[in-house]
């Protein structure tokens, strides 16, 4: 599967901290019903067996909705479940090494123009740039100002999505930066009505991208 720009409009990153006793697969399906266009499974604390089982379940679910599904950081799990790709950070395996093992979608996190250009040259299919706003989802995330986001979008030829602290209320501030979508965690999964909030958020992101 190739990475299509339109698939990156509303990119959901999972986080089990917001489950509240519910199953992750059910919350992901609510987000898919609401119109999420891309799903990343992010697990930092699950053992390999449970991670693998969960990945297979969500891969099948995303397949039914025809939405791309990638794994955060773990190339072995991505290969094992035949995920559509993998997303890696700056401290993880670099895009060139991932490309050598996985001929699928590769996303890379970037915070500077230099990181973005290097990731693109090594085979990244899209970039996740941020944090564009303050966020509590990643303790080590430092903010990237919107001028830098714009500079990254102008420097590379691959799609760029914004990530970090994005909500329905603030996403409009990214208009004009050149990003083609937004990646969110709590703006979807921390909401009581995931499906309805996803629907509203998708419309807000669409307006930002088109303005």
**Catalytically active residues, by annotation:** 42, 109, 138
The whole-angstrom separation of Cα 67 and Cα 166 is 21
What does the CA dihedral 72, 78, 84, 86 come to, rounded to 10 degrees? 30
Phi, psi of 3 (to 5 degrees): -90, 110
Of 36, 111, 103, which Cα lies nearest the Cα of 75?
103
């Amino acid at each position: 599967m190739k990475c299509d720009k339109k698939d990156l409009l509303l990119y959901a990153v999972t986080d089990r901290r917001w489950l509240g006793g519910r199953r992750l697969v059910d919350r992901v399906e609510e987000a898919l019903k609401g119109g999420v266009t891309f799903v990343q499974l992010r697990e930092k604390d699950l053992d390999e067996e449970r991670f693998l089982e969960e990945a297979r379940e969500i891969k099948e679910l995303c397949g039914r909705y025809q939405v791309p599904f990638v794994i955060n950081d773990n190339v072995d799990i991505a290969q094992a479940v035949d995920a559509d790709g993998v997303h890696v950070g700056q401290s993880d395996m670099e895009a060139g090494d991932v490309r050598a093992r996985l001929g699928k979608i590769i996303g890379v996190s970037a915070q500077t123009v230099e990181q973005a250009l290097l990731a693109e040259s090594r085979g990244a299919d899209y970039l996740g740039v941020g944090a564009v706003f303050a966020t509590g989802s990643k303790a080590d995330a430092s903010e990237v100002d919107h001028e830098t986001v714009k500079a990254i979008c102008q420097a590379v030829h691959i799609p760029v999505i914004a990530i970090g602290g994005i909500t329905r209320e603030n996403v409009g501030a990214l208009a004009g930066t050149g990003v083609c979508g937004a990646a969110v965690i709590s703006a979807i999964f921390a909401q009581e009505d995931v499906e309805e909030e996803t629907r509203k958020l998708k419309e807000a992101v669409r307006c930002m991208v088109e303005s």
